[in-house]
Chain A
Amino acid sequence: MQRRHFLRGAAALPLAASSVRLMAAAKGTPRVLLVFLRGAYDAASLLVPVGSSFYYEQRPNIAIARPGSAADAAIPLNAEWALNPALVDSMLPLFERKQLAFVPFAGTDDVSRSHFETQDSIELGQPLTGQRDFQSGFMNRLAKVLGARDAIAFTDQLPLTFRGAVQVPNLALANLAKPSVDARQAQLIAGMYQGSPLAGSVREGFAVRDEAMREINGNPGADMQGGMVGEMAAASRNAITAKGFEGEARRIARLMRERYHLGFVDVGGWDTHVGQGAGTGYLANRLAELGKGLAAYADEMGPAWSDATVVVISEFGRTFKENGNRGTDHGHGSVYWVLGGAVRGGRVLGEQVAVAPGSLFQNRDYPVLNEYRSMLGGLFARLYGLSPAQLQQVFAGAGPRDIGLV
């Protein structure tokens, strides 16, 4: 890492030769990554309402023990809330450094409780009343407002949220394989498309791919055959092999650090209807993997972390009461995470209500008190200095609410 930073500062020439775009990521440019937890994670197992006896009544088998009461007990954050112990090594340090905030009772007013209905409506970010336009996601509208050509989805397909007027590339980094189309073949292919309407898309595809391989391999001078050495070296510096989301997050960080400013990635596996566990178990393992990945992202960003914001969202929360299978069913309000070098963290933010029988939505779920369009609108306004008119282009009809995240 150090060597690379030195190289970039001291000798821009070889880098410029390999990629003219590399220097585009000027210091101070906000880098926003949206992480979508598809499947609706159980937010009450992340940010544990340890101040609520109701919580322990409603979850006799899956509640996370009060701080200090067991080996896998929750980690206290304040009098009301505590953190899942699976995140003690990854997210707790960030919270203590005041770079991580949680927003409970967050989500959408969509109450279909259908995964795909709600994922779609959040990704589109349009008013819930009226016809949906599936060709206009809010991240694309944000990219447009920012005049940005440096947005990217780290997914197989372009997610709904990035569909729209701006052409946004996509590149999945979850299972990074060396491309089988080599540089010479890429050139032959690009040659066939010269002068055709697809020429731009084809060229951009190869460019993004090559750039990604260079960045990720950590060796801008090497050709792609030189391959995975860089990543392997980086991984061994961290003592454990970067795998799963952690590996993906490091790759994403390298691209967000150098080249892209607006990113999207999704993480699945949260639909815990059965045997979700408590301080340990299935969900704790998933949270641990996610936390490790986010911490790795922060680490890999290096100095650019001070310009970075990561927002972790999910389509809805889960039932407050455990179900008959030691799991939880589809609910409503969730907990969003906001982390970054400039985040005013170490706090639990936004509109809140005591976790008690009377405060549940429809007598079963967390309510939504922090509507995502208002909340993200407020965040974007602060980060980018957007005008009210620009914000209306991103989130039509939503009044931005600045809850002091940055």
Chain B
Amino acid sequence: MRRRSLLVTVGLGLTGPAWLAGCASPAPRAGAGGDSTDLALLNRVTWGVDSAALAGMNRLSRRDYVQAQLHPDAATRLPASVQAQIDALPLLQKPMPAVVVEMEQRRRDADALADDDAKKAAQQAYQQAMNRLARDASTQMLLRALYSPNQLQEQLSWFWFNHFNVHQYKSNLRAMVGDYQDQLRSRALGKFRDLVIASATHAAMIRYLDNEQNAANRINENFAREVMELHTLGVDGGYSQKDVQELARVLTGLGINVSDKTPNLKPAQQALYVRQGATEFNPARHDAGEKLVLGVTLPAGGGWDEIIEQLTRLARHPSTARHISQKLAVYCVADAPPPALVERMSRAFTASDGDIALTLQAMFDAPEFAPSLARKFKDPMHYVVSAVRLAYDGRPILNTAPMLGWLNRLGEGPYNRQTPDGYPLIEAAWSSSGQMGTRFEIARAIGGGSAGLFRPEGASAVDVPAFPQLSNAVYHSALATTLGERTRAALDGATSPQEWNALLLASPEFMFR
């Protein structure tokens, strides 16, 4: 890994990336404060600046800080009280297939009730339990986004879920999104090939894009099309309708099985049967004939391996390198990233066999990166998480429900995007007049008090006293100097700390990262 990253940066010449200027020395820097480049870089690398992030960057050089984020230490732990909150979530007490089985049984029991009222009540209870499972997954995701030291990994985890999007309200996906999220998260900075395979062989994706219905002679193209259009090659990636049909044939037989039964198979097919978590490959449903995908002939008789090999070929395709680099750059750099930057990333992607950390390193190292800082409009997730991170600066919240409410009001609730394209990543999608107005209302809610963030769930829960302290060390040491004249004037006009908070969170500077 080390050797690789060295190689990638060597080509950049002697000057190095602009954001390294001023901290050429790898030695720790003195002083508590950071400068505006530190701040801007942190706002890009993390979900939003806080004291811990600033201190981290002060301890290391900028390059080492970014390196540490690109290659997070697996041993890194969340703060103990946050980990305790996550450990207490019922979602995590059982493996996903077991949860699915249990919920399926509950659903069947409810459906079997003869009395309409009893049936409706049972179905409602089932729905609530399903909602709780998705809610727990989102709590886990938000707590990690707020408090994990591995901030870049958490940002990329969100990115990959969104890239390989599934919608929680399809069928029983609410019981699966937590596990799906974990599978993507653990690979977020790894090889793209592993992400594609993890997604494509996960029950959540198989169900979401109807691959359960895709069988030999009963082809359902839905999944195959999205794999090429959205997940790998991109819409202009150079595939034809015929390729979609052929890939659909490759994907036949990839389905879901959470029962304790295996299908009856002819002896010749039994060896080809694969079971992996809730996912099943059923050779009896697979089209075993010869296929031709993107000019490559797949010989007859393939099975699970044929699927994995085909997904691997797609992950390594030059169109995929461009498509993924472009999308990463839209998320991490600019709505319309400079083509030269995407080209650099694309080369790094290809040279590293789709290594995401090295692709991102090429992005951070590119001369186009520094000029982009503080110019990327925050989508609602970045807005809400950065506001809460700054407001409580490391003090763990006790309830994520208010955050989920804000995210849903802003239209970017976790797992709530219905369509496989995922939430849009560009400013135009989030800055309509009504959306800005809602943002200001939420700025007021976050700035005005603890807003329920410190009231644990449960009827007997007591609101723990807390106040959003936005005029904090981070503000005075780093943020204040980045504010424009108009914003300072408005802050000076505030008549209470609550109003000052709301104005800071409503300021144009806070809308960008």
B436 in contact (CB, < 8 A): yes
On chain B, the residues within 8 Å of A325 by CB distance are: 111, 119
Instruction: Give B423-441 as 1s and 0s: 1 = Cβ < 8 Å from A's Cβ atoms.
Output: 0000000011111111011
On chain A, the residues within 8 Å of B418 by CB distance are: 116
Interface 9-residue window, one of A43-51, A183-191, A374-382: A183-191
A120 to B120, CA, bound (A): 29
A156 with B438: CB separation less than 8 A: yes
A230 in contact (CB, < 8 A): no
B506 in contact (CB, < 8 A): yes
Q: A116-B419, A180-B445, A196-B508 are in contact. Are A201 and B436 (CB under 8 A)?
A: yes
Q: A274-B123, A325-B111 are in contact. Are A170 and B486 (CB under 8 A)?
A: no
Q: Residue A198 contacts which of B111, B445, B511 (CB distance < 8 angstroms)?
A: B511
Q: Residue A157 contacts which of B120, B235, B411 (CB distance < 8 angstroms)?
A: B411
Using CB atoms, name the residue of chain B closest to A282. Answer: B120
A326 with B419: CB separation less than 8 A: no
Instruction: Give A178-210 as 1s and 0s: 1 = Cβ < 8 Å from B's Cβ atoms.
Output: 011100011011011111101001101110110
A195 to B485, CA, bound (A): 12
**Which among A120, A198, A209 has the greatest number of chain B C-beta atoms within 10 A?**
A198
On chain B, the residues within 8 Å of A194 by CB distance are: 486
A134 in contact (CB, < 8 A): yes
A191 with B489: CB separation less than 8 A: yes
Q: A196-B508, A198-B511 are in contact. Are A208 and B434 (CB under 8 A)?
A: yes
A402 to B477, CA, bound (A): 67
Instruction: Give A36-68 as 1s and 0s: 1 = Cβ < 8 Å from B's Cβ atoms.
Output: 000000000000000000000000000000000
A329 → B minimal CB distance (Å): 13
On chain B, the residues within 8 Å of A153 by CB distance are: 434
A167 → B minimal CB distance (Å): 7
B311 in contact (CB, < 8 A): no
B411 with A156: CB separation less than 8 A: yes
A130 → B minimal CB distance (Å): 11
A202 to B506, CA, bound (A): 11
Using CB atoms, name the residue of chain A closest to B433. Answer: A205
On chain A, the residues within 8 Å of B421 by CB distance are: 134
A274 with B119: CB separation less than 8 A: yes
Q: A116-B419, A120-B419, A180-B445 are in contact. Are A205 and B490 (CB under 8 A)?
A: no
B428 → A minimal CB distance (Å): 8
A171 with B436: CB separation less than 8 A: no
A69 in contact (CB, < 8 A): no
A157 to B436, CA, bound (A): 11
A169 in contact (CB, < 8 A): yes
Instruction: Give B394-423 as 1s and 0s: 1 = Cβ < 8 Å from A's Cβ atoms.
Output: 000000000000000101000000110100
From 476 to 513 in chain B, residues with beta carbon under 8 angstroms from any chain A beta carbon are 484, 486-487, 489-490, 493-494, 499, 502-503, 506-508, 511
B440 with A170: CB separation less than 8 A: no
A156 to B494, CA, bound (A): 29
On chain A, the residues within 8 Å of B123 by CB distance are: 274
B441 with A179: CB separation less than 8 A: yes
B376 in contact (CB, < 8 A): no
Q: Residue A188 contacts which of B167, B235, B437, B490 (CB distance < 8 angstroms)?
A: B490
Q: How large is the interface on B (under 10, 10 to 19, 20 to 34, 35 or more residues)?
A: 35 or more
From 198 to 236 in chain B, residues with beta carbon under 8 angstroms from any chain A beta carbon are 235
A116 to B209, CA, bound (A): 13
A167 with B437: CB separation less than 8 A: no
B436 with A185: CB separation less than 8 A: no
A205 with B436: CB separation less than 8 A: yes
On chain A, the residues within 8 Å of B119 by CB distance are: 274-275, 325
On chain A, the residues within 8 Å of B235 by CB distance are: 131
A171 with B434: CB separation less than 8 A: yes
B432 with A193: CB separation less than 8 A: no
On chain A, the residues within 8 Å of B62 by CB distance are: none
Q: How large is the interface on A (under 10, 10 to 19, 20 to 34, 35 or more residues)?
A: 35 or more
A44 to B508, CA, bound (A): 51
B412 → A minimal CB distance (Å): 9
A120 to B417, CA, bound (A): 13
Q: Residue A170 contacts which of B167, B409, B435 (CB distance < 8 angstroms)?
A: B435
A201 to B484, CA, bound (A): 19
B503 with A188: CB separation less than 8 A: yes
B438 with A202: CB separation less than 8 A: no
A325 → B minimal CB distance (Å): 7
A294 → B minimal CB distance (Å): 24
From 149 to 183 in chain A, residues with beta carbon under 8 angstroms from any chain B beta carbon are 153, 156-158, 167-172, 179-181
B409 with A156: CB separation less than 8 A: yes
A195 with B503: CB separation less than 8 A: no
B434 with A181: CB separation less than 8 A: no
A181 to B355, CA, bound (A): 46
Q: Residue A274 contacts which of B120, B489, B490 (CB distance < 8 angstroms)?
A: B120
A51 to B487, CA, bound (A): 69
A275 with B436: CB separation less than 8 A: no
On chain B, the residues within 8 Å of A181 by CB distance are: 437, 440-441, 444, 502, 506
B486 with A185: CB separation less than 8 A: no
Using CB atoms, name the residue of chain B closest to A186. Answer: B440
A333 → B minimal CB distance (Å): 23
Q: Residue B434 contacts which of A169, A186, A274 (CB distance < 8 angstroms)?
A: A169
A158 with B441: CB separation less than 8 A: no
Using CB atoms, name the residue of chain A closest to B111. Answer: A325
On chain B, the residues within 8 Å of A204 by CB distance are: 433
Q: Residue A189 contacts which of B431, B433, B440, B445 (CB distance < 8 angstroms)?
A: B440
A206 with B437: CB separation less than 8 A: yes
A197 → B minimal CB distance (Å): 9
A120 to B418, CA, bound (A): 10
On chain B, the residues within 8 Å of A206 by CB distance are: 437
B502 with A185: CB separation less than 8 A: yes
B305 in contact (CB, < 8 A): no
B503 with A192: CB separation less than 8 A: yes
B116 in contact (CB, < 8 A): yes
A180 with B431: CB separation less than 8 A: no
A172 with B434: CB separation less than 8 A: yes
A131 to B438, CA, bound (A): 32
Q: A116-B418, A116-B419, A191-B489 are in contact. Are A180 and B433 (CB under 8 A)?
A: no
Using CB atoms, name the residue of chain B closest to A168. Answer: B432
Using CB atoms, name the residue of chain B closest to A152. Answer: B434
A156 to B439, CA, bound (A): 12
Using CB atoms, name the residue of chain A closest to B120. Answer: A275
Q: A179-B441, A198-B511 are in contact. Are A191 and B486 (CB under 8 A)?
A: yes
**Which among A153, A156, A181, A208 has the greatest number of chain B C-beta atoms within 10 A?**
A181
Instruction: Give B252-292 as 1s and 0s: 1 = Cβ < 8 Å from A's Cβ atoms.
Output: 00000000000000000000000000000000000000000
Which residues of A does B touch, CB under 8 Å? Answer: 116, 120, 131, 134, 153, 156-158, 167-172, 179-181, 185-186, 188-189, 191-196, 198, 201-202, 204-206, 208-209, 274-275, 325-326
22 A-B interface contacts by CB (under 8 A): A156-B434, A157-B411, A158-B435, A167-B433, A172-B434, A180-B441, A180-B444, A181-B437, A181-B441, A181-B506, A186-B440, A189-B503, A189-B506, A192-B506, A196-B508, A198-B431, A201-B431, A201-B436, A208-B437, A274-B116, A274-B119, A325-B119
**3 closest Cβ contacts across the A-B interface?**
A170-B434, A205-B433, A205-B437
Additional A-B contact list (8), CB under 8 Å, known A158-B432, A171-B434, A180-B448: A116-B167, A131-B235, A153-B434, A167-B433, A171-B437, A181-B502, A188-B503, A192-B508
